[in-house]
Structure 1
Amino acid sequence: MALDSDTPLNSLGFAKSPAETRVVVAMSGGVDSSVVAAHLAAEGYDVVGVTLQLYDHGAALAKKGACCAGVDIHDARRVAEDLGFPHYVLDYENIFRDAVIDEFADSYLAGATPVPCIRCNERVKFKDLLETARDLDADCMATGHYIQRKMGAQGPELHSATDAARDQSYFLFSTTPEQLDYLRFPLGHLPSKQATRDLAAQYGLQVADKPDSQDICFVPDGNYASVIEKLRPGAAEPGEIVHADGRVLGRHEGVIHYTIGQRRGLGIGGLEEPLYVVRLDVDNHRVIVGPKEMLATRRVPLREINWLGDEPLTSRAEWAVSVKVRSTRPPRDAVLRPISETEAEVELLTAEEGVSPGQACVFYAREGSRVLGGGWIWRGY
């Protein structure tokens, strides 16, 4: 199966031979980015592999399912050696901590539910790494993300992946038009992850059967609270678990152990009605719980909007779009009402449960696969 493009130029869109086209491939050590590198090398491109060292690998080596750990750097280097192109490891630990980890900790302590993978793409991979690719005189940078870049009337457009089960558009909504002009996503049109693994086997990659990463790379086993406690010692303070009607139902050991929409592990057994976390009162160290219907909302306030439409965001009073308020949920029809170029309110046509500050709200065209941008949810109603 070829990773071809519909462009009449070379497969990356340049009017020159592959051998004259340098492409930096962001290599995590996993099967996806390895296939991208292998395919481009097989096509004759001047491939340069780059892997980022993002955090302390001493701890990471002991955990499975994390990206960018020490074993992943080894795997990326081995792929490059086997295929005969240069590979560099860049120490981005300080940048990653300043741009991603510190905000993750502070947002969590403020009662939000952050998505650090988006910030990593926005502030590290598509910013500093992209600039490094330019410094290496690369014509473009390619990644193993499952998303599509298509040429439209106004230039490159961002589109969701062909395989909805693998689509990563939610995590890439903040990609700017300038970045999109430089980026390439060769896997976005493939029909399934198995197709990627088949290509890996075809190229003889030793990572062909390597498991996918499951957790945030610096959060072992998805235990956010333990990471926050290490990053901000003493920040977790005990408090009350309070019903929305005012009844005190129990005690907790820190708001950081709870997220909006959580039902299990609340520590308040013996009640007849199922209760969910509906709000986190960080200032008073309270976890507010209530019935499921209290989670439903139709109005979603947004800021830090990245808009990818052809017309300015504020050129209309409202936009008919579809939106995702969680990465695992399908797009739902909504109305987007701009307040400024970077702020807006989304009205969901059908109420959604568990809309949480710190999550992203990503915009899609009602028809087709185009990604129109997105913003950050910053408070609840």
Structure 2
Amino acid sequence: MKQNSNKKRVVVAMSGGVDSSVAAALLVEQGYDVVGMMMRLWSEPGIGPAAPANRCCTPDQMADARRVAGLLGIPFYVVDVQDHFRQTIVQFFIDEHANGRTPNPCIECNRQIRFTYLLERALALDANYLATGHYAQVVHTPDGYQLRKGLDPNKDQSYVLHVLDQEKLGQVLFPIGGYTKPEVRELAQKFGLPVASKSESQDLCFLGDGDYRRFLQEYSQKASQPGPILTSSGEELGQHEGLPFYTIGQRKGLGISASVPLFVLRKDVARNALIVGPKSELGQQILIARDVNWLSGRPPQEPIPAQIKIRYKAKGIQGMVVDLGNGRSQVTFHEPVFGVTAGQGAVFYDGDVCLGGGIIADGVNLLEDTATSADSVQAVTAQTTPSLQLADIQVHS
């Protein structure tokens, strides 16, 4: 594609929704040479009342994106990523659940699809940037690029963008990161976009009916195997229906009775057992994150204070982060926390600046640590971790 020599080219990842549509409109208004691009992603066949389609790229979504592109006067292309998406993101979702972890597929999609595969397609079109409708901000400082939270605290998506590195931060644009969601809808009306009042989908995009239990039962025999519900001491209290169908900290719906309330403490994949216990056993003050990416490209040489988010919608929790090498970091919280879940992201912040993050490791991952890392964990643990008491446990949502 021939580029207008007087303008920088931006490929906008369009979804047919209001956020990406306004992102494209803002870039056109700012004078960029804008190209719209939409990914056709895999969805499971034969599920749902309508023709099967990924929720991110249904025929209606594609029609809306094409309509917006036509209104803005920009070219529009659809890229078929179905096979790659199925082999990477969907299989990752299945495998993680089968191994007792609770993944965030949006993080992995950003890592492997949106900011790798799609970014490469954009650069192949001689684009200078790939733009998306994420609520986040990239700021260029004398020390390099920073990823900062989006202005709207209710929509901030920096958590799922912690996988970006310095090179990619210099190649991406987040045009709506400095706006709130209501302001984005107002902009859509100002630009005359037909998607201004369009609702948002909250479900996993590749599930035909939004039912992840049914999906795992169909696609992973291992994930849906029943097994024992055990206390920490090994007493069997009942049977679970499949480890993926329970969450750390869950109390209701376990189908067991005891003299005190019992919570899900962890998942023992080797025994296919769900381990439960009283609230006094639930607090966790230390976690190990694997596959850690530091956005500056430079892991800290000393322990650093940070606010750590352990789920997408969770508030940041105060703690210390220590780089252990080999892509691993230890987080020590100032107070015991509730609901630390293997497979979720642990993302580190200094105020509004996203420093980096990784994936919360489970017991199996911890066994893979090097001896040096293990020694570091023990040393920091001994220095910073008091004994846990029931009154110390704080629930974070």
Q: Structure 1 length as normaliser, TM-score?
A: 0.88
Letter in 1 for 2:87: D
Aligned pair partner of 2:34 in 29, 47, 52:
47
Equivalent-residue separation in structure 2 for 1:87 and 1:267 (angstroms): 52
Does residue 333 (structure 1) correspond to residue 318 (structure 2)? The answer is yes
The SS at the match of 1:171 is: helix
Paired residues of 1:303 and 1:376 also in contact (CA < 8 A): yes
Which residue pairs with 1:200 in the alignment? 188
Which residue does the alignment assign to 1:322?
307
Structure 1 CA distance, aligned partners of 2:53 and 2:89?
21
d(CA) in 1 for partners of 2:251 and 2:58? 32
Residues 45, 18 of structure 1: CA spacing in aligned structure 2 closer, same or farther, 3 A cutoff?
farther
Q: Aligned match of 2:343 in 358, 364, 372?
A: 358
Instruction: Find the counterpart in structure 2 of residue 298 from structure 1.
Output: 285
Report the Cα distance in structure 2 between the residues aligned to 1:341 and 1:155, rounded to whole angstroms.
23
Q: Which amino acid aligns with 2:24?
A: A
- The alignment-based identity, stated in percent, is 41
| Matched AA of 2:206 | F
Displacement of 1:107: 0.6
- Between Structure 1 and Structure 2, how many residues are aligned? 360
The answer on 1:229 being equivalent to 2:217 is: yes
Please give the alpha-carbon distance, in whole angstroms, between the structure 1 residues aligned to 2:23 and 2:244.
38
- Could you tell me how far apart the structure 1 residues matched to 2:120 and 2:273 are? 44
Which stretch shows the higher mean deviation, 140-149 or 91-100? 91-100
Shift, 1:64, TM fit: 11
Cα separation, 1, equivalents of 2:269 and 2:44: 32
Give, as a single letter, the amino acid of the residue that structure 2 aligns with 1:242.
Answer: L
Go from structure 1 to structure 2 and tell me whether the alpha carbon gap of 1:277 and 1:64 turns closer, same or farther (over 3 Å shift). farther
Residue 374 of structure 1 corresponds to 357
Equivalent position of 2:265 in the other structure: 278
Q: Does structure 1 residue 313 correspond to structure 2 residue 304? A: no
Counterpart CA distance in 2 for 1:336 and 1:360 is 14
Q: Which runs of 5+ in 1 are unaligned?
A: 1-16
1:160-179 aligned within 5 A:
160-179=149-168
Matches within 5 A, 1:1-381: 20-56=7-43, 59=47, 61=50, 66-190=55-179, 192-219=180-207, 222-233=210-221, 235-268=223-256, 270-309=257-296, 312-314=298-300, 316-340=301-325, 342-365=327-350, 368-379=351-362
Describe the shift of the 1:216–1:137 C-alpha distance in structure 2 as closer, same or farther (beyond 3 A).
same
Cα distance change, pair 66–18 in 1 and its aligned pair in 2 (3 A): farther
Task: Please give the alpha-carbon distance, in whole angstroms, between the structure 1 residues aligned to 2:54 and 2:121.
Answer: 27
Shift of 1:342: 1.2
Q: Deviations over 1:271-309 (max 9, x none)?
A: 453322111112212111122332211101111110023
* Of 68-77 and 299-308, the range deviating more from structure 2: 68-77
With 258-267 and 138-147 compared, the bigger mean Cα shift is at 258-267
Residue ranges of structure 2 left out of the alignment (5+ in a row): 367-397
CA distance in 1, matches of 2:54, 2:249: 25
For residues 78 and 39 of structure 1, the distance between their equivalents in structure 2, rounded to whole angstroms, comes to 16
State the alpha-carbon separation in 2 of the partners of residues 197 and 355 from structure 1: 35
**Residues of 1 paired with 2:302 and 2:56: CA distance?**
42
CA contact (8 A) 1:148 1:189 kept: yes
SS of 2:170's equivalent in the other structure is helix
Q: CA separation in 2, counterparts of 1:56 and 1:18?
A: 39
AA matched with 1:49: G
Q: Distance in 2 between matches of 1:186 and 1:50?
A: 16
Q: Distance in 2 between matches of 1:348 and 1:85?
A: 49
Give distance in 2, aligned partners of 1:57 and 1:196. 32
Structure 1 residue 209: Cα displacement: 0.8
SS in 2 for 1:73: helix
Q: What's the Cα RMSD here? A: 2.3
Shift of 1:68: 2.9
Range moving further from structure 2, 60-69 or 126-135: 60-69
1:26-72 C-alpha deviation (Å, 9 max, x unpaired): 01111100101122223332111011111138647569993333322
Q: What code does the residue aligned with 1:206 have?
A: P
CA 1:215–1:283 in structure 2 vs 1: closer, same or farther (change >3 Å)? same
**Residue 101 of structure 1, CA deviation:** 0.9
Partner Cα separation in structure 2 for residue 41 and residue 293 of structure 1: 56
CA distance in 2, matches of 1:235, 1:357: 15
**Secondary structure, counterpart of 1:313 in structure 2:** coil
Whole-angstrom distance in 1 between the partners of 2:207 and 2:332: 33
Aligned to 2:383: none
Q: Structure 1: which amino acid aligns with 2:324?
A: I
Compute the TM-score of the two structures, normalised by the length of structure 2.
0.85
Deviation of the 1:152 alpha carbon:
0.9
CA offsets, 1:289-341, max 9 Å, x none?
A: 1223322111011111100237x215x23112111111111111111111115
Amino acid of the residue matched to residue 256 of structure 1?
P
Residue 234 to residue 99, structure 1, CA distance change in 2 (3 Å): closer
CA contact (8 A) 1:18 1:43 kept: no
Measured in 1, the distance between the counterparts of 2:109 and 2:133 equals: 15
Asked if the contact 1:304–1:376 (Cα under 8 Å) also holds between the matched residues in 2, the reply is yes
